[in-house]
Structure 1
Amino acid sequence: MLLNADFTKRVVIRPDDYQWQKSPANGVERMMLDRIGDEVARATTIVRFASNSYFDTHTHDGGEEILVLDGVFSDETGDYEAGSYLRNPIGTRHKPFTKDGCTILVKLHQFDADDKAQIKIDTKNATFLPGIAPGLSVLPLHEYGTEHAALVRWQPGTQFSAHRHWGGEEIYVIEGTFADEHGAYPQGSWLRSPHLSSHAPYTDEGCLIYVKTGHLPEAA
């Protein structure tokens, strides 16, 4: 399967665009955002678990990055509430499940082979740092090579100057509405902008976004 597999193209998916599909696991549905491959794939996906659902034990051959959006996501290592950020590097193994249901944003098979950090961050209780523009605060999540991942909180009325993204930019809107000169992106929106793309982002009502930069190839 090839879904939004041309990384030179800008992609925007809003909640109204969601098309949930059943996964191989009972009670687990997926909204595929991008994908290169079949069941084992380089993929970015929103995954929705019904109560008492699970995936069988599996190994992450290409690594796994998770942001828990709602509910409580669990595996053998613990229970992770909404706001939890997890990185399971290449070769790690687990059996994910949920008791009461949850929704996660997950990125698979996108780790550098030498990126071996296993990370667990409770972002709801972490300290955000001042951003580089008034009205912005930042919680760094992970950095390896040119890749940077963070949560960024925007106060209402915040504007950021026009800038260009070397290595591209990926955004998921966790709360509020994020915007730029191309449109407005409510909670649940996902944006992927290619290498050397540019924009001038802002927000009227305020927002919280997950941002990853410097990780996209320069060509498809």
Structure 2
Amino acid sequence: MPRTTRETLTTGGWKDLAFGPFREDVTIHWIQPFEGDQPGIALLKYEAGASVPRHRHEGLETILVLEGIQSDEAGDYARGCYIVNAAGTEHSVWSDTGCVVLIQWDRPVTILEDS
């Protein structure tokens, strides 16, 4: 896999990147799409009030909140929070304020209930 870089993500550099559709009111910028057994790495941008329905992690998922607040059933995670969701865990995700997160998935998630 060739080297991939994104500059100044923690200081707002993500604002200059192109985002495309992911889910309603959530957009994505792929840093490394899933390829073979390689994990997927992306930035997700949630508009205020956006959510992702309940889903199961089929592999490890890690999240770093870059801006705003991301929430799930276990709590609220502000800028600088690092979240690890183990394979087999389930939750739904939302952002009342809007947020941007750096996320890495070992494998795609399975949506359990769709809104």
Fold match by TM threshold 0.5: yes
CA RMSD of aligned residues (A): 1.8
SS at match of 2:52: coil
Contact 1:28–1:49, Cα closer than 8 Å, also in 2? yes
Structure showing greater relative contact order (alpha-carbon pairs closer than 8 Å, 6 or more residues apart): 2
Consecutive unaligned residues in structure 1, runs of 5 or more:
1-6, 111-220
SS at match of 1:90: coil
Which residue does 2:42 correspond to in 1? 45
Alignment-mate amino acid for residue 27 of structure 1: D
Consecutive unaligned residues in structure 2, runs of 5 or more:
8-12, 108-115
Alignment-mate amino acid for residue 29 of structure 1: T
Q: Provide, for residues 10-59 of structure 1, a one-character-per-residue CA deviation record: whole Å limited to 9, x for no partner.
A: 22234487221110x2110011000125xxx8310011000000001100
**Which of these two proteins has the greater Rg computed from alpha carbons?**
1
Contact 1:63–1:92, Cα closer than 8 Å, also in 2? no
- Measure the CA separation in 2 of the matches of 1:48 and 1:17: 13
Which residue does 2:10 correspond to in 1? none
Which residue does 1:56 correspond to in 2? 53
Q: How does 1:141-160 map to 2 (within 5 A)?
A: none
Alignment-mate amino acid for residue 108 of structure 1: W
Q: Does the C-alpha gap of structure 1 residues 107 and 27 become closer, same or farther in structure 2, counting only changes over 3 Å?
A: same
Alignment-mate amino acid for residue 62 of structure 1: G
Which residue does 1:94 correspond to in 2? 91
Which residue does 1:10 correspond to in 2? 3
Alignment-mate amino acid for residue 46 of structure 1: L
Alignment-mate amino acid for residue 81 of structure 2: S
Alignment-mate amino acid for residue 61 of structure 2: E
With the length of structure 2 as denominator, give the TM-score of the two structures: 0.79
Which residue does 1:65 correspond to in 2? 62
SS at match of 2:59: coil
- Measure the CA separation in 1 of the matches of 2:53 and 2:71: 13
SS at match of 1:47: strand
Give the fraction of aligned pairs with identical amino acids, expressed as a percent.
27
Which residue does 1:156 correspond to in 2? none
Which residue does 1:109 correspond to in 2? 106
Alignment-mate amino acid for residue 33 of structure 2: R
With the length of structure 1 as denominator, give the TM-score of the two structures: 0.42
Which residue does 2:34 correspond to in 1? 36
Q: Number of matched residues?
A: 99
Q: Provide, for residues 62-117 of structure 1, a one-character-per-residue CA deviation record: whole Å limited to 9, x for no partner.
A: 1210001110100000011111111001001010001010110000017xxxxxxx
